[in-house]
Amino acid sequence: MAVISIRKLPDQVLREPSREITEINGELQRLIDDMAETMYAAPGLGLAAPQVGRLHRLIVFDVTHRDGGPQDLKVIINPCITQAEGELTREEGCLSVADFSAEVRRHARVTVKGLDREGKPLSITGEGLLAVVLQHEVDHLDGILFIDRISRLKRGLYLRRLKKQAAAR
């Protein structure tokens, strides 16, 4: 396993839609393992393939490990949100959006269907933090970042700061 470099804004790969995975093979298994190691090393609660430069519909996440509990890695290949209800607002950050977090409105409960790492169908229903993580990571697969879900003013302030930092380098 290896830690992969996490892509950060303004990297355009983060804005590209991902392709469905059609073959589950050893290369995909290595990518899953590398993404998991990268997520835990960052540390983060979830990671989508575009964040490591791969335009595959693949996410890994673990919401239990954040409080020092045992690792409980979850993998979803070709995830699709099939049900969503309720509403909540929660502070979000992102490994691909450096030094910024903001309140984001999301569904309070979602069901995501896809395949596990062996290719078997799975369905995960999450509420609260798990619902947020699932929506956040699935958004990445469609080229959507959490900053796209905040006010234009807050997003603009962040993007201007990002440009200023890039110009100073």
- What is the per-residue pLDDT across 28-81, written as a single tens digit (0 to 9) for each? 999 999 999 999 999 999 999 999 999 999 999 999 876 667 889 999 999 999
Domain parsing of the chain, residue ranges: 12-168
| Higher local confidence (pLDDT), 10 or 20 | 20
Longest dimension (CA), the chain: 49
Q: Tell me, what's the pLDDT at 119?
A: 97
Percentage of residues in the chain having pLDDT higher than 70: 98
Which of 23, 91, 92, 137 is the catalytic position? 137
20 is catalytic: no
User: Which CA distances in Å does 162 have to 16, 148, 155, 158?
Assistant: 20, 15, 11, 6
- Thinking of the domain 12-168, which architecture would CATH place it in? Alpha-Beta Complex (3.90)
Q: Which of 100, 88, 99 is nearest to 133 (CA)?
A: 88
Look up the pTM and report it. Answer: 0.94
Confidence label for 168 from pLDDT (cuts 50, 70 and 90)? confident
Compute the distance between CA of residue 122 and CA of residue 116 in angstroms, rounded to an integer. 6
